[in-house]
């Protein structure tokens, strides 16, 4: 069934998929078409079950099809799928988010993390009157034109479009720095005095594989942005409400000017949000002149799912200790494999097939991607579903069992023999 579905899909979907990494191009083989999910497991169209470490790219902290979330969605569905009008659940979710995240005073709901990032950048450009944005090489912030940019020949060069269809004029407004290199950031600010509206960062990089911020790096970004009159934006689409109830900002004790959220706040439904202090968010229409709109923003079903998950997590903080401990167990044993580097932050983990310490994108790129592809196929054959890319995070959740962790480790260590 997987192969026949893929052949059908390739006739009507670009590459047979609706998001590029799903095509398995970097690991080889046929994508698995998922028919069912429950707890820590997914089942493909051929009826084969896998221990899942993709977790819909992060939001399934409690596992797939969790009864608390499922029941909340079922109740919401009975009242209607979409209103295109305000509903109580969006108010409740915004109240819960602002209660959990110190410094987050107001939010605007969106339908995706990409939309949240695009809107936050628009706010930053409006309030500063500047056009340029600084991002980090290897950090992903959705597929908005301004963010599909990589570094040029040097740290101070303008960006080069990473995608067809991105005008060079747009790409030239995005400057790319090296993650964990504050001197590179300061050099960019010095070379573009008074021109940078915002610096956006994944506080824990998770789209070049998991890379933690060096001690003091986030604090230095905060200081540099303040000194240069630029806004600091934390993209917490992955880390928000996963690393801690207050996200990475709370975990590292650094307050950005704006946050971007997604995934987790929808409990598996399509959702995103951006927010910050009242003085910034009051620039959003209808209060101000920065336009953002969306028929499905604050969708009642998505809000119900997100509320159910965040309320559950807030009432059971021990979940965070549990998933962190699970991930630490995996990390400890996976480190015994030869010629790998294992990075972990909380319940996020990546096995890099390199001997080099991975502190940034250049380090990550030394990974042996062919060996990772063989590892991925080996794990898939062993019933373990990993992200189909060397440069992604594994997501550990509360539904994983000790036996499943042991099975995962047994399979991984057998590859190394």
Q: How far apart are CA 280 and CA 317, in angstroms?
A: 31
Between helix 88-100 and helix 300-315 the angle, nearest 10°, is 30
Catalytic annotation on 406? Answer: no
Q: Backbone phi, then psi, for 286, in 5-degree steps?
A: -90, 0
Between CA 171 and CA 181, with CA 177 as vertex, the angle to 5 degrees is: 175
Q: List, in sequence order, every residue forming a beta bridge with 174; answer none if it has no partner.
A: 133
Q: How far apart are CA 221 and CA 201, in angstroms?
A: 9
Q: How far apart are CA 308 and CA 150, in angstroms?
A: 38
Q: How far apart are CA 154 and CA 174, in angstroms?
A: 14
Name the one residue in this structure whose structure tokens are 């290897």. Answer: 138
Catalytic residue, candidates 53, 132, 263, 385 = 263
Tally: H helices and E strands in the chain = 14, 16
Distances (CA, A) of 325 to 24, 405, 410: 30, 11, 18
Catalytic residue, candidates 44, 52, 235, 324 = 235
Catalytic annotation on 263? Answer: yes
Catalytic annotation on 255? Answer: no
- H-helix or E-strand spanning residue 271: none
Catalytic residue, candidates 50, 53, 140, 312 = 140
8 Å CB contact between 205 and 162: no
Q: Three-state SS string across 273-319, please?
A: EEEECHHHHCCECCCCCECCCCCCCCCHHHHHHHHHHHHHHHHCCHH
Q: Identify the three-state secondary structure at position 119.
A: helix
Distances (CA, A) of 405 to 53, 57, 313, 345, 401: 11, 19, 22, 17, 6
- Distance between the two ends of the chain, CA-based, in angstroms? 32
Name every residue whose Cβ is closer than 8 Å to that of residue 269 and which is 6 or more positions away in sequence: 73, 299, 301, 302, 305, 306
Residues with catalytic roles: 140, 235, 263
């Amino acid at each position: 069934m997987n192969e026949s579905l893929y052949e059908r899909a390739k006739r009507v979907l670009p590459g047979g998929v609706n998001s590029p990494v799903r095509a398995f191009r970097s690991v080889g083989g046929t994508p698995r078409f998922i028919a069912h999910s429950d707890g820590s497991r997914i089942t493909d169209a051929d009826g084969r079950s896998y221990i899942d470490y993709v977790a819909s790219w992060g939001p399934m902290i409690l596992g797939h099809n969790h009864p608390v979330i499922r029941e909340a969605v079922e109740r919401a569905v009975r009242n209607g799928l979409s209103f295109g009008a305000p509903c109580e659940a969006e108010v409740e979710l915004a109240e819960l988010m602002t209660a959990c995240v110190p410094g987050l005073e107001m939010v605007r709901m969106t339908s995706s993390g990409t939309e949240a990032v695009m809107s936050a950048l628009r706010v930053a450009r409006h309030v500063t009157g500047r056009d340029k944005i600084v991002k980090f090489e290897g950090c992903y912030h959705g597929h908005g034109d301004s963010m599909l940019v990589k570094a040029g020949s040097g740290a101070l060069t303008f960006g080069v479009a990473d995608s067809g269809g991105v005008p060079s004029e747009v790409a030239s407004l995005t400057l790319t720095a090296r993650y964990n290199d504050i001197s590179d950031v300061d050099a960019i600010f010095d070379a573009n005095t008074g021109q940078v509206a915002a610096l956006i960062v994944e506080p824990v990089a998770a789209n070049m594989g998991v890379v933690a911020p060096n001690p003091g790096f986030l604090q230095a970004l905060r200081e540099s942005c303040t000194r240069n009159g630029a806004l600091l934006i934390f993209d917490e689409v992955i880390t928000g409400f996963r690393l801690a109830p207050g996200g990475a900002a709370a975990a590292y004790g650094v307050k950005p000017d704006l946050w971007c959220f997604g995934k987790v706040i929808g409990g598996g439904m399509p959702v995103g949000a951006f927010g910050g202090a009242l003085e910034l968010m009051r620039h959003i229409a209808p209060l101000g002149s920065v336009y953002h709109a969306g028929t499905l923003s604050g969708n009642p079903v998505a809000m119900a799912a997100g509320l159910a998950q965040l309320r559950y997590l807030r009432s059971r903080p021990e979940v965070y200790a549990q998933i962190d401990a699970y991930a630490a167990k995996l990390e400890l044993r996976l480190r015994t494999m030869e010629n790998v580097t294992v990075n972990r932050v909380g319940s996020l983990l990546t096995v890099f097939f390199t001997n080099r310490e991975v502190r940034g994108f250049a380090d990550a790129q030394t990974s042996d991607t062919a060996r990772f592809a063989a590892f991925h196929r080996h794990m898939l054959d062993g019933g373990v579903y990993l992200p189909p890319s060397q440069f992604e995070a594994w997501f550990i959740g509360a539904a994983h069992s000790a036996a499943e962790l042991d099975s995962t480790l047994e399979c991984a260590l057998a590859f190394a023999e």
